[in-house]
Copies of this chain bind each other. A is one copy, B any other.
Amino acid sequence: VKVTVLGDGAWGRALAHVARAGEHDVEIWSRRAPFDLTAQTLIVAVPAQSVRDVLKMVPTTNKHIIIAAKGIERGTHMLMADVVRDVAPSAIPLVLSGPSFADDVVKGLPTAVTLAADDLDTAKIFAQHFSLPHFRLYASDDVRGVELGGALKNVLAIACGISDGLGLGESARAALTTRGFAELSRLAEAMGAQPRTLMGLSGIGDLLLTASSTKSRNYAFGFRLGQGLPVAEALAQSSGIVEGAFTALVARALAAQHNIDMPIINAVHAIVEDGAKVVDQVTALMQRPAAIE
């Protein structure tokens, strides 16, 4: 397969690396080094907020567009496949998402992620094209479920970072991850995600990786908040866009719209957007009445 990867960041380069290892013909396109595309398959590995702009810069007619960006577009509140459908109505969007650090992939360490398309056969064909023994793709036809897991987990990664920054321990982080996952699932299911997807690689799998590793930008941002840094300073120290800080805002709006209780995501929002004190939010969470699981 002839493939163009849009984006020359760590993730774009990692995906180009595995595609080349699979003996595909791969080029990396970036805004800094653009060229005329010929490839019928595009892999989009730019930050979520740049996907729309980048897709406008390249030909997209009838192409398969594999989205490897996680997040919700500001302003429109669109998921990335919807951005593709909006900008490139004749293209077929696929979504690649799951627990994967670029450096693990480049090192050839085993990684498994989900590849979703509206049509399961399309997902299966592309999963077969790009699977390697150390880079396994699981096919899914739940595009929306895969996208919601990948976007919402960033908010919970901030919460888990805060917990670890405060030194609350591994048991607390596991509880926060699990109860946060219950919130994420409630919202995602209300928005059409399949429960099976949320229990998979792009859901709980990606969450548990992102919510426990300093390699995750969102977790690292939360960790600094837990250590007592003000929001502005913690953001300034981040190495790139902290997608979850914005997603908290959108998630709160979506939760209100679907009438869903999301205490952990609300707490992150209160801290990041309203300047609430970290300790007050943690105390409030712990004093909620015990519930039924």
Contacts and interface: CB of A to CB of B under 8 A. Distances in A.
Interface of A: 98-101, 104-105, 107, 109-112, 114, 120, 124, 127-128, 131, 133-134, 136-140, 163, 168-172, 174-175, 177-179, 181-182, 185, 195-202, 204-206, 208-209, 212-213, 215, 282-283, 286-287, 290-293
Nearest to A107: B169
Contacts of A133: 283, 286-287
Contact of A140 (B182, B195, B292): B292
A288 B106 CA distance: 21
Contact of A290 (B100, B110, B137): B137
A108 B192 CA distance: 39
Contacts of A213: 170
Highest count of chain B CB atoms <10 Å: which of A98, A109, A168, A171: A171
A52 B290 CA distance: 31
Contacts of A101: 169-171
9 contacts: A99-B171, A101-B170, A104-B169, A104-B171, A112-B178, A128-B290, A138-B291, A170-B209, A170-B215
Contacts of A179: 112, 201
B291 A175 contact: no
Given A112-B178, A138-B292, A178-B204, 5 more contacts: A109-B171, A175-B201, A175-B205, A181-B199, A197-B293
Contacts of A98: 175
Contacts of A206: 174
Contact of A138 (B172, B286, B290): B290
A191 to B, nearest CB: 17
A230 to B, nearest CB: 24
A244 to B, nearest CB: 18
A86 B209 CA distance: 41
Contacts of A200: 178, 182, 293
Contacts of A99: 170-171, 174-175, 178
A213 to B, nearest CB: 6
Highest count of chain B CB atoms <10 Å: which of A133, A139, A206, A293: A293
